[in-house]
Structure 1
Amino acid sequence: MNCYNCNLSTVPADLPEEINGLDLSFNPLKHLYNKSLSRLSQLQILDLTRCGISTIEDDAFAGLDALHTLILTGNPIKQWSQVTFTGLHSLRKLVIVETSLATLSELQVEYFPSLRELNAAKNCIDRLYIPSFLFRLHVLDLRANRITKINKEDLDNLRHANTSNLSLILSQNFIHSIDPGAFRFVNLQLLHLKGCFSHEDIMKASLNAISGLRVQMLFIGQYRNSPTRVKFKENLFEGLCGLDVEELTIMELYITFTNTFFDCMENITSLRFIHTSLSQFSPESFASNMQKFELKHAFVMNVPTYIVSELKHLKELRITNNQRLTHFGYSLLTLDKLEFLDLSNNKIMMESCCDKFISGKSLKHLNFSYNSYIGLRSHFLNMPHLLSLDLSHSKVDSVGQFPIFMSLNNLTYLDLSYTSCHFVIHCSFCGLFSLVELRVPHTTFAPDILGSVFQNLSSLRLLDMESCDLKNITNEMFGHLNRLQVLNLSKNKLMELPASVLLSLFSLQHLNIKSNNIQGLSNDTVQFLSKSLAKVDLSDNAYDCSCTQEQFLMWVHEQSIKNLNFSNHIECKTPEHLQGLLLRDVNLNCSWTLIYISIMVSVIIVLLLLLVYHFYLKNRFLYLCFCHQGYKKSATEKTYDAFVIHSSLDEEWVKEELLRELEGGDPKFRLCVHFRNFEAGKLILENIFYNGICCSRNALILLSPNFIESKWCSFEFRLALFWRFLEDECGIILILLEPIRDDQLKHMYVLKKYLSSKTYLKWEKNDKEKEVFWKRLRKALTQGRRVDAPLLGPAE
């Protein structure tokens, strides 16, 4: 429960008894009374930061048996009584920063066997005396106190004590001197001396003085904002010869390389340089048994492979955050035991990775993230044990173009975020049978591979596809991801999320579809989200808050009442008067809206019917106008045997084949063609209808792709059908000059329907078929209107 800065002078008496966390920081409590918190028996974390508490009564924490973290930072406590912490049997962490504590002996915490961390930073402690009741601690933080001298007798009780798990933090105590042998026979997990020495001479003397210390990790150096600079001097680290230390971290030192720099580091197995000016090494620098090496924020321009390649026992190599480092020029193939390689946050340009430069026999983790360019020229053939590969925020090639991961059967983590990869092959992730986590934000996928690109990732638990320019999702896309638990589809261009896409995701718990173009979700989708998911982020979409999304809006309102763990800031985009309103606050009366919509639809239908009827009357009127003058003549006298309806692009066939055969053969037929028989000066429409259709016994339709593309051909065909329908005066003969695809007939519904129910002639180029074609055509022209009779045979 958060009661931060509520101007409370006492602990509220109406706090719920079942709370497990309470923040009372920055309240003027000043006095903590006896058993004032005893009702809160389930409390685990209590924060009393800067409450002005000067007095803590006896048994003030009585009844807090479950409390494991107590924070008293910034309270000017005058006295710590022997029963101050009575009842805190489960206390594991105590924070008493800035409480004016003078000595650790003031604290009476010897009866707390569970206490593991004591943070007493920024107090008034001036002696490094650690009472025996604190030996069970894992962390003792005394940073920024007033310790300037460490006396030998202050640490007598630590000698031969079991403090191998203790991390002692003395940073920012301005230590001037340490008694020689003060740490002899002392055994620690960690000793932190960062920012303790104002001069290199003091550091050198202090390192010599702690001779005899056995410590797992030692931190020395300065803070970045320190007003003093410590520079390397000859034999600065000679005191390390008297220490038993395994891991050494050197920070913020201005290092001038000398041949004595690494003296006394023979037994160190882990060496870290952080924010140093180190820029070069010599082959004699390192101990041959070193297992871990880290170089962070240094001045190196090349990966020092010529040095580290000699470290045959090296297991972990980290060279990171070096802005001058651009090249990886030497091979690490000799490091057969290397398991972890981190070269992230540099400016490396690597033309060919990785088989020729890096030994992968034992490699498990490889990180090339945040570099300039990594050229993948191999298939990771020599890295059978690789578990994680991070190429994020680096320009890479070949990924998505070739199946380069085929050999990484044990890989569990792959990060390709912000690599701008474009996946075009179905086998982009082939071979990754063990992959658990895949991150591909800011990459793109060819639409035709989305249904199968993830099909072999049956072990996947997390898939991050943020900003992948996805416009739609196929039902097969996640069909094989039965174990997927976390799916991030945020910042794409999805307009819908069908339930059919999600049905195969049996294990899905977290879904993020933030910042898409989704207007609403279907009933099936929201049912899936309600039953299966623990967390859903639906925010920042273009939600439609009209009645068309009524069911979705009702669901959002229900979930806000049930407190389903999904994003609350889901706002309306449309209609305009509801823009910016939270979906859970939308209150629509859709019953009247539906009536209005029904009325409007009915009105529109009536208007459309009237419009259709109007066009019918208009066409009928035009027909009467055109046929008025010569109707009787057209009904009794026919000038032509057929009116040829064709595209001007097929005119050559008409002249060379049709006219020559029918008008020059026996019997002779008379044909009407527009380029020869239309009268000059008349309207085109009048020529087509009066001089062509009305004066011909038949209409000869020459079908071809050119015919389909011609609007005049389509009009003439419909006019012939119209005349036949009204007067039954015109036979229609269809000739297929060239094949026509179904998709070409989409916009000519009348012709498509007519072809499906009528027979037609098909033009063939071989002589035998031509002879049959002309014979059948002559027979059709002779019989006139009976052209649709079965004599033409079945459609071809």
Structure 2
Amino acid sequence: LASLSELQVGHFPSLQELNAAKNCIDLLHIPSFLFKLHVLDLRANCITKINKEDLDNLRDANTSNLSLILSHNSINSIDAGAFRFVTLQLLHLRGCFSHEDIMKASLNAISGLRVQKLLIGQYRNSPTNVHFQENLLEGLCGLEVEELTITGLYIRSTNTFFDCMENITSLRFIHTNLYQFSHESIASNMQKFELKNSAIVKTPFYIISELKHLKELRVTNNKRLTNIDYSLQTLDKLEFLDLSNNNIMMQSCCDESIPGKSLKHLNFSYNSYIGLRSYFLNMPHLLSLDLSHSKVDSVGQFPIFMTLYNLNYLDLSYTSCHFVIHCSFCGLFNLVDLRVPHTTFAPDILASVFQNLSSLRLLDMESCGLESLPNEMFGHLKRLQVLNLSKNKLMELPASVLLSLFALQHLNIRSNNIQGLSNDTIQVLSKSLEKVDLSGNPYDCSCTQEQFLTWVRELSIKNPNFSSHLECKTPEHLQGSLLRDVNLKCSWTLIYITMLLSVVIVVLLLLVYHFYLKNSFLYLCFCHRGYKKSATEKTYDAFVIHSSLDEEWVREELLPELEGGDPSFQLCVHYRNFEAGKLILENIFYNGICCSRNALVLLSPNFMESKWCSFEFRLALFWRFLEDECGIILILLEPIREDQLKHMYVLKKYLSSKTYLKWDKNDKEKEVFWKRLRKALTQSRKVDVPL
């Protein structure tokens, strides 16, 4: 094809995309019958020069939706003003210029072009390299361009790179090194910045931090990037931060270096190590958090997500987290999508670990090592629509586990150890599920699974793909057969006799070993009781939750009265009893709340302004709710304004339903105060239960 005029496509009025790549077209003349195109691909043709008259018919045409792709054309020159008054959606000039002088002259020649997206630079396998020189991009000053993509340039030290980018709102660098940029002041309205597949060792945050209007920042696929040593706190409008697919090792995320005031999306996936030490206290608007395929700490050991009330997407896939506390996901009331493949859960928390995720729609637990499912595991997930339990070690799927999942549509139990499904489970699965994946399990095709096999055959008639990967494992003569092809003739009389004989044998064995089993059982019960008793011993009578600004009252009033009086009470206060070197949360949770019979909450205006006080109070409430081991005693040191209470709804509700103590400097009132407080602490000594 030597010319676009040769095409007879005028009778295709709805044509939107035309691929004319790798032809012999040497002139950029676009006939009027192609003006309605959305994409015109002319890459790898023979266009070496763009004449002004070639584009005359575009100047008055409405081509604002047209994407013109000219990559891999060896363009040597462009007439000055050739693109003046031309409007395009995209102009693709990658791999078009063999030398930086040709690129500089061509960018100056397209002055007057109005384009949404402009892409310039070289391909990685290009035989020629284009090196950046001063004022190389000065032609951008004559363009109206919103998004600029630069690829494959060799950029050396420069002070003029951003001179003509004041009105650009999106800037992308791909396979381009920015490390040698000078520290220059940038006046820019840029809202998006991307740095991808670069050889940088350190991100040029000294440049990025100058982009005060930045809302989206992507620094991805830079395998030599290992740390973030520059604060982004000046980017207070940043909403989207993607640092995925690097080799970042971050010891403490995300307090000092990451801006959280406006942040809505945070992606740290596919990095080396992300240390979560600040508990996201300053990210109230965060909607999505992706930590997948990165090594992380603290997750599952402490309730670090408690302040992320608005989070609706959390991906912890392939992080190897081990969840050991019931409150692993506490605070995530609005979470919709939770992905935890290749993590593990302590068996004793499975019944309650998801209980506060009432908004959840998708739960992915692939390869979590699950051997059984407690009946209460999904009891609070009334809105769950997609459940993935594939590649675990489940031997059965009880109907009682699924009964509360009223909205469930997709269920995946592929590649477990399930031999068949009970009649009750079959009834549940037959009600409302749109898709069920049962493949890859070692199914038993004996008469004990006759009802299950019948159900599979019936579904196979409606949907042949349903059973295409369901194969028999046992008995041996049916191994490898598809379940839908198995047609058993079962003699239930013989089966009942066999079952009866099995019951008789079991009863006889129980009688023979009666005394041995009984004595062993009593011994185990005794050992367990002793362990439970030692595990619940309390070191302190109360853990004091207070603001550091109220520490003087604690030192001068509370401690002398309670620890120096008769009887004496042992209190846990952070400045004295917390162990040095441990995480703050570990001290609060294990050394404070778990080791104390009560939590003394000292309410004051200082308390209301402290995020840590709010955090400790919520943690005590959750611990009381989950373990029933911590009484809470409220002490009102100073009056609290109503507008302060509005910001702590949980405390406001708690105050309205519980009796609290009020501190008064009057001597008579003091005496009554200490008497009531001592009585409350004395009662909790008698039995370790909440007041």
TM-score by length of 1: 0.62
Deviation at 1:610, TM superposition (A): 12
* 1:257/1:278 contact within 8 Å kept: no
For the residue of structure 2 that corresponds to 1:240, the secondary structure is: helix
Please tell me whether residue 155 in structure 1 is matched to residue 81 in structure 2.
Answer: no
Q: Which deviates more, 124-133 or 563-572? A: 563-572
C-alpha distance 567-159 of structure 1, shift in aligned 2 (>3 A): farther
Please tell me whether residue 404 in structure 1 is matched to residue 304 in structure 2.
Answer: yes
C-alpha distance 612-312 of structure 1, shift in aligned 2 (>3 A): closer
C-alpha distance 353-744 of structure 1, shift in aligned 2 (>3 A): closer
Please tell me whether residue 428 in structure 1 is matched to residue 328 in structure 2.
Answer: yes
For the residue of structure 1 that corresponds to 2:210, the secondary structure is: coil
**Match in the other structure for 1:276:** 176
Deviation at 1:159, TM superposition (A): 0.6
C-alpha distance 472-244 of structure 1, shift in aligned 2 (>3 A): same
CA distance in 1, matches of 2:111, 2:437: 57
Please tell me whether residue 320 in structure 1 is matched to residue 320 in structure 2.
Answer: no
**Match in the other structure for 1:120:** 20
C-alpha distance 546-151 of structure 1, shift in aligned 2 (>3 A): same
CA distance in 1, matches of 2:50, 2:510: 103
Please tell me whether residue 474 in structure 1 is matched to residue 377 in structure 2.
Answer: no
**Match in the other structure for 2:539:** none
**Match in the other structure for 2:439:** 539
Kindly provide the CA deviation profile for residues 268-317 of structure 1, in whole angstroms up to 9, marking residues without a partner as x. 22111101233232221644322111111112222322322222111111
Deviation at 1:463, TM superposition (A): 0.8
Tell me which of 247, 265, 272 is aligned to 1:365: 265
**Match in the other structure for 1:577:** 477
C-alpha distance 129-502 of structure 1, shift in aligned 2 (>3 A): same
Matches within 5 A, 1:739-754: 743=525
Aligned partner letter, 1:512:
N
Tell me which of 409, 415, 423 is aligned to 1:509: 409
Matches within 5 A, 1:649-660: none
For the residue of structure 2 that corresponds to 1:319, the secondary structure is: strand
C-alpha distance 406-564 of structure 1, shift in aligned 2 (>3 A): farther
Tell me which of 476, 495, 519 is aligned to 2:395: 495
* 1:279/1:300 contact within 8 Å kept: yes
CA distance in 1, matches of 2:507, 2:194: 81
Aligned partner letter, 1:536:
V
Matches within 5 A, 1:365-764: 365-563=265-463, 566=466, 568-591=468-491, 594-598=492-496, 708=519, 743=525
RMSD: 2.8
CA distance in 2, matches of 1:331, 1:152: 48
* 2:179/2:203 contact within 8 Å kept: no
**Match in the other structure for 2:593:** none
* 2:132/2:156 contact within 8 Å kept: yes
* 1:708/1:744 contact within 8 Å kept: no
**Match in the other structure for 2:44:** 144
Aligned partner letter, 1:411:
L
Deviation at 1:562, TM superposition (A): 0.6
Kindly provide the CA deviation profile for residues 452-502 of structure 1, in whole angstroms up to 9, marking residues without a partner as x. 111111111111111111111112111111111111111111111111111
Aligned partner letter, 2:213:
H
* 1:393/1:417 contact within 8 Å kept: yes
User: Which 5+ residue runs of structure 1 have no aligned equivalent?
Assistant: 1-100, 616-702, 711-739, 746-796
Please tell me whether residue 106 in structure 1 is matched to residue 1 in structure 2.
Answer: no
For the residue of structure 1 that corresponds to 2:466, the secondary structure is: coil
For the residue of structure 2 that corresponds to 1:202, the secondary structure is: helix
**Match in the other structure for 2:143:** 243
Please tell me whether residue 347 in structure 1 is matched to residue 247 in structure 2.
Answer: yes
For the residue of structure 2 that corresponds to 1:529, the secondary structure is: helix
Deviation at 1:527, TM superposition (A): 2.4
* 1:348/1:372 contact within 8 Å kept: yes
C-alpha distance 577-192 of structure 1, shift in aligned 2 (>3 A): same
* 2:240/2:264 contact within 8 Å kept: yes
* 1:535/1:565 contact within 8 Å kept: no
Deviation at 1:741, TM superposition (A): 7.3
TM-score by length of 2: 0.71
CA distance in 2, matches of 1:534, 1:581: 25
C-alpha distance 285-247 of structure 1, shift in aligned 2 (>3 A): farther
C-alpha distance 167-601 of structure 1, shift in aligned 2 (>3 A): closer
CA distance in 2, matches of 1:542, 1:557: 17
Deviation at 1:419, TM superposition (A): 0.9
For the residue of structure 2 that corresponds to 1:459, the secondary structure is: coil
* 2:80/2:108 contact within 8 Å kept: yes
CA distance in 2, matches of 1:318, 1:607: 68
**Match in the other structure for 1:231:** 131
CA distance in 1, matches of 2:97, 2:131: 11
Deviation at 1:265, TM superposition (A): 2.3
Please tell me whether residue 196 in structure 1 is matched to residue 96 in structure 2.
Answer: yes
CA distance in 2, matches of 1:556, 1:155: 65
* 1:392/1:416 contact within 8 Å kept: yes
What is the aligned-residue identity percentage?
A: 80
C-alpha distance 181-744 of structure 1, shift in aligned 2 (>3 A): closer
Higher relative contact order (CA 8 A, sep 6+): 2
CA distance in 2, matches of 1:285, 1:204: 23
For the residue of structure 1 that corresponds to 2:57, the secondary structure is: helix
Asked which structure has the greater CA Rg, the reply is 1
Deviation at 1:564, TM superposition (A): 6.7
CA distance in 1, matches of 2:241, 2:269: 11
Aligned partner letter, 2:474:
T
* 1:262/1:285 contact within 8 Å kept: no
